[in-house]
Chains A and B, each alone.
Chain A
Amino acid sequence: DAGVTQSPTHLIKTRGQQVTLRCSPKSGHDTVSWYQQALGQGPQFIFQYYEEEERQRGNFPDRFSGHQFPNYSSELNVNALLLGDSALYLCASSSLVTEAFFGQGTRLTVV
């Protein structure tokens, strides 16, 4: 079992650009959540996808959007990147009966 896989592992973007991060959930999991973790902070909930719909959203602007595909994999898109968007982006997958399993994350640097 590959667990939760995220790609890419590292990314450098320029202010104003757009970025897409990808996540494949652990086998058997149907729910994907995305978190932003700034250096020295705990993860902050961005949104959760279930059955290809956004089920819940945290306090993030509309520049942050996502998608879930029929195979349960997910994408996080961020438009009009700001310096403050630099962070570790974590994907977590779960099912009704399991705790959240986290991927290794994508380290995004905006310059």
Chain B
Amino acid sequence: GQNIDQPTEMTATEGAIVQINCTYQTSGFNGLFWYQQHAGEAPTFLSYNVLDGLEEKGRFSSFLSRSKGYSYLLLKELQMKDSASYLCAADSNDYKLSFGAGTTVTVRA
């Protein structure tokens, strides 16, 4: 089966940095997705890591360690619009994404 764990909630101040951790236990693992979901909206793609290491994309970076079953999403220079749920999803070779429950990030002024 699939097991994806991430924290439920995180709060940070505007301009700060927040790191959202995700651990996974997935058979047939291909890679790890991060999606952002604002309340009442569709999840939108942020990143996809296949290889170990850090991938940087503007204010957002994502890291993967396949041997440890661990990923994190790093949000830098937080803005109010970054308040959302962040979903970690494991991509496996059985064509489906297995999602964590999501981490609600609240950015305060």
Seen from chain A, the residues whose Cβ lies within 8 Å of a Cβ on chain B are 4, 33, 35, 40-45, 48, 50, 55-56, 58, 90, 92, 99-105
Contacts of B98 in A (CB 8 A): 45
Contact of B78 with A by CB under 8 A: no
Chain B residues numbered 74-94 whose CB sits less than 8 Å from any CB in chain A: 87, 89, 94
Seen from chain B, the residues whose Cβ lies within 8 Å of a Cβ on chain A are 4, 33, 35, 41-45, 48, 87, 89, 94-102
A43 close to B99 (CB less than 8 A): yes
9 A–B contact pairs at CB < 8 A? A41-B101, A41-B102, A42-B100, A43-B99, A56-B94, A56-B95, A90-B42, A99-B48, A104-B42
Docked pose: A67 CA to B42 CA in angstroms: 22
Contacts of A99 in B (CB 8 A): 33, 45, 48
Docked pose: A99 CA to B89 CA in angstroms: 12
A42 close to B95 (CB less than 8 A): no
Residue of B with least CB distance to A4: B42
Q: How far is the CB of A28 from chain B (nearest CB, A)?
A: 16
Contacts of B100 in A (CB 8 A): 42
Contacts of B42 in A (CB 8 A): 4, 90, 102-105
A102 close to B43 (CB less than 8 A): yes
Of B44, B95, B96, B102, which contacts A102 at CB under 8 A? B44
Contacts of A103 in B (CB 8 A): 42
Q: Can you add 16 more A-B contacts, CB < 8 Å, to A41-B102, A103-B42?
A: A40-B101, A42-B89, A42-B99, A42-B101, A45-B96, A45-B97, A48-B95, A50-B95, A56-B94, A56-B96, A90-B42, A92-B97, A99-B33, A101-B45, A102-B43, A104-B41
A44 close to B95 (CB less than 8 A): no
Contacts of B87 in A (CB 8 A): 42-43
Docked pose: A45 CA to B79 CA in angstroms: 31
